[in-house]
Structure 1
Amino acid sequence: MKRTIFAQEHDEFRLMIRDFIARDVAPHREEWDELGRPPREFFRQLGKLGILGIQAPEEFGGGGEASFKYTTVVFEEIARAGVSFGSYTVHSCLILPYLLEYATAEQRQRWLPGFVSGEIMTAIAMTEPGTGSDLANIATTARLTDDGQHYIVNGAKTFITGGVTADLVLTVCRTAPYDPEDRRAGLSIICVPADAEGFSVGRKLDKIGLQQQDTAELSYADVRVPAANLLGEAGKAFGYLAHNLPQERLSIALNSVAHAEAAIMHATAYARERKVFGKPVAAFQNTKFVLAECSTETTGARVFVDHALELLDRGELTVADAARAKLLCTEVAGRVIDKCLQLHGGYGYITEYPIARLYADTRVTRIYGGTSEVMKTIIAKDLGL
């Protein structure tokens, strides 16, 4: 189905991204798989191309672009090529909005130029060993010193995307005692430099997929952080996290649809080339029907998520509609990629084939950013249930 959300400048940007991936990313896939993440120089390349700071203000070296459509183009080209930009999505799509919305003028000047250039890579640390979707249960603490000049941070985080790569970790912690009557109160975001004494990166976690996206455990042992690294107001973090949820969840939805489209592309090409019983797999009615179902379902998700993207650009995407987009697109991607893998037969289970990597990489989308069950709870609440 013809898409109408992109203009000529988006098409030109797409060609630039496609050329960059073919030249500087695709040849290194296996090497970066072994490393577990792209090398630091890669993020500096992204910075030079303007990819890390598309939505950052021009005064800090960014593109000053309000629309999320350029970032969507990046998602689509990454999926099409079957490559990874490591922790790019977390850095540029999840964390940048926090800095733009809540950082002081001094903090912006201190962090944004390096953020845009790739000299300062970031991560956000919310999840703890005993705290997943229930962020109000966060136990990591940050105590203000008597002179008010520093916070002393103690605790542990897990499943932190980009935790190994990050130079600055936005750490959600409790700056006021836990109040059972208001569990969401007392949480703050402290920006912790990775070279701070007492901060350490623990295990790099081995995952089923996303081999080039480093995921780590983090530890905080009496980490002394300047009070000037508090992002926004103390005790307001829960509201800040909720404010950024629509873009975060739409990012996951957009990536999921792009992965489903890539799966259909790979399965179609394979079915045309692979012969069984003397004729191409594509000649069998079952193959045609399966791919027709996949195409129809993915197109429906694409139309939905493109409209959600327009709403995001207009500042009208609600938390509930972002949840609907994430639920729909991640579930569709899971079904479509599974069917496309099946059409590959045994080769679909071999990791040198893109469909196998898509299968492994996509499974987590129904978990992170809020599980499918959490999305259903949000949608049900929006229905008044």
Structure 2
Amino acid sequence: MSLDHRLTSEHEELRRTVEEFAHDVVAPKIGEFYERHEFPYDIVRQMGEMGLFGLPFPEEYGGMGGDYLALGLALEELARVDSSVAITLEAGVSLGAMPVYRFGTAEQRREWLPKLCSGELLGAFGLTEPECGSDASGTRTTAVRDERTGEWVINGSKCFITNSGTDITGLVTVTAVTGRKDDGSPAISTIIVPAGTPGFSVAAPYSKVGWNASDTRELAFSDVRVPGANLLGDEGRGYAQFLRILDEGRIAISALATGLAQGCVDESVRYARTRTAFGKPIGANQAIQFKLADMEMRAHTSRISWRDAASRLLAGEPFKKQAALAKLYSSESAVTNAREATQIHGGYGFMNEYPVARMWRDSKILEIGEGTSEVQRMLIARELGVS
């Protein structure tokens, strides 16, 4: 396939629009939300009005009729300025709405997608559990069908769930063990749990190192009853479903990581041009120039990597390995660029008033969320046929 990832005029127009929004609307306000650990409802509302939450979905469901490349472009531009708003969009689309679109019935799509696409509601993906982590097959949350009513009765807990406790959270799709396969292994299914369902409780927001203007919480399910029709996709196919969702989500996270990596370049170049030491701008020093060159190299290569994976997805080609490569490289590049940007800024890089301090705090989770770096290496090795 061609590796020409130059943008069409439509994609470039979208990119520029989101770039302007990020710099004109997000950048001036987000620092205050971040320091207060406050969810930026007004910014998210404007993102919804722009159609960002509906980018990759068909117009018949209230979407913009775009594609995954369009979503990635929006995520990258937002993350160049701030990762909290970027992860709110990423989780709302890739993890919240996409499972309903990929695996939902016609009725489920009609019920949920229009409000998810408009940003009126946010969706969340309840996968990770306190004792499972990367071993998602070890799910302990259970869902038992009440033969009398046909309802699912859910018990268990989830942790680190983004968008799960905001005032506009509409649903959480929950993975749960619904039986046993012939070989005795757990049969995992995915079930839609609307916000506010009795027995479904949401803990207070976590105190986090980064992403402080996004919503992340622990969830508990105590005899939560939902209709049998809330099963998402085929019973017992939940594990395969969320693996597909995570493969796609890694492209989105890679685009976000690329944005953070590029944002570190943007801020460091600006600082290197204006900060003087020993009578000249620090950018005149070769040591700083080399750091900036390496940072730009990492951001550029990350961009090529996630766009390659997105292009394969859109072409209907296998993309699992490319998504893992993109997620691994871009997340580690983001961490390195954030560290180098902080170093270039010196003492100011340790002050929260400077964006690079926020980027440094936000970068580390990119090597953990939606598959750790170790998991990505396992996936890549498996695709190479050596695992």
TM-score (norm 1): 0.93
Encode CA deviations 1:119-175: one digit per residue, 9 max, x unaligned: 221101111110111111111111111225211111111111111122200011111
Partner of 1:343: 344
Q: Distance in 2 between matches of 1:98 and 1:163?
A: 15
Is 1:275 aligned with 2:282? no
Q: Distance in 1 between matches of 2:261 and 2:27?
A: 19
Counterpart contact for 2:309–2:319, Cα < 8 Å: no
Secondary structure of residue in 1 paired with 2:204:
strand
Counterpart contact for 1:6–1:69, Cα < 8 Å: no
Q: Distance in 1 between matches of 2:346 and 2:145?
A: 59
In the TM superposition, residue 9 of structure 1 has moved relative to its aligned partner by: 1.6
Stretches of structure 1 lacking an aligned partner (at least 5 in a row): none
In the TM superposition, residue 31 of structure 1 has moved relative to its aligned partner by: 4.0
Amino acid across the alignment from 2:12: D
* Structure 1 residues 239-278: aligned runs within 5 Å: 239-278=240-279
Corresponding pairs, count: 380
Amino acid across the alignment from 2:39: R
Q: Distance in 1 between matches of 2:295 and 2:243?
A: 33
Partner of 1:176: 179
In the TM superposition, residue 28 of structure 1 has moved relative to its aligned partner by: 2.7
Q: Distance in 2 between matches of 1:327 and 1:35?
A: 28
Partner of 1:71: 71
Of 296-305 and 274-283, more deviation after overlay is shown by 296-305
C-alpha spacing 1:14/1:196, structure 2 compared with 1 (3 Å): same
Secondary structure of residue in 1 paired with 2:132:
coil
C-alpha spacing 1:128/1:82, structure 2 compared with 1 (3 Å): closer
Encode CA deviations 1:24-54: one digit per residue, 9 max, x unaligned: 4333314422253122x54443232211111
Q: Distance in 2 between matches of 1:119 and 1:240?
A: 25
Stretches of structure 2 lacking an aligned partner (at least 5 in a row): none
Q: Post-superposition, which runs of at least 4 consecutive aligned residues in structure 1 deviate over 4 A?
A: 179-182
Q: Distance in 2 between matches of 1:28 and 1:336?
A: 24
Is 1:115 aligned with 2:119? no
Amino acid across the alignment from 1:75: L
In the TM superposition, residue 181 of structure 1 has moved relative to its aligned partner by: 4.2
Is 1:334 aligned with 2:321? no
Secondary structure of residue in 2 paired with 1:160:
strand
* Structure 1 residues 1-385: aligned runs within 5 Å: 4-33=5-34, 34-39=36-41, 41-65=42-66, 67-82=67-82, 84-85=84-85, 87-165=88-166, 166-177=169-180, 181=183, 183=185, 185-385=186-386
Counterpart contact for 2:143–2:176, Cα < 8 Å: yes
In the TM superposition, residue 114 of structure 1 has moved relative to its aligned partner by: 1.3
Q: Distance in 2 between matches of 1:290 and 1:42?
A: 33
Encode CA deviations 1:216-242: one digit per residue, 9 max, x unaligned: 011111111111111011111001011
C-alpha spacing 1:180/1:155, structure 2 compared with 1 (3 Å): farther
C-alpha spacing 1:232/1:148, structure 2 compared with 1 (3 Å): farther
Encode CA deviations 1:197-250: one digit per residue, 9 max, x unaligned: 111111311111101111101111111111111101111100101122321111
Encode CA deviations 1:274-297: one digit per residue, 9 max, x unaligned: 111121111112111211222223
Counterpart contact for 1:198–1:223, Cα < 8 Å: yes
Q: Distance in 2 between matches of 1:8 and 1:35?
A: 37
C-alpha spacing 1:243/1:209, structure 2 compared with 1 (3 Å): same
Secondary structure of residue in 1 paired with 2:210:
coil
Counterpart contact for 1:324–1:375, Cα < 8 Å: yes
Q: Distance in 2 between matches of 1:35 and 1:332?
A: 26
In the TM superposition, residue 306 of structure 1 has moved relative to its aligned partner by: 2.4
Counterpart contact for 1:246–1:317, Cα < 8 Å: no
Q: Distance in 2 between matches of 1:23 and 1:345?
A: 27
C-alpha spacing 1:145/1:375, structure 2 compared with 1 (3 Å): same
Q: Distance in 1 between matches of 2:375 and 2:242?
A: 15
TM-score (norm 2): 0.92
Encode CA deviations 1:10-31: one digit per residue, 9 max, x unaligned: 2222333233334443333144
Counterpart contact for 1:5–1:306, Cα < 8 Å: no
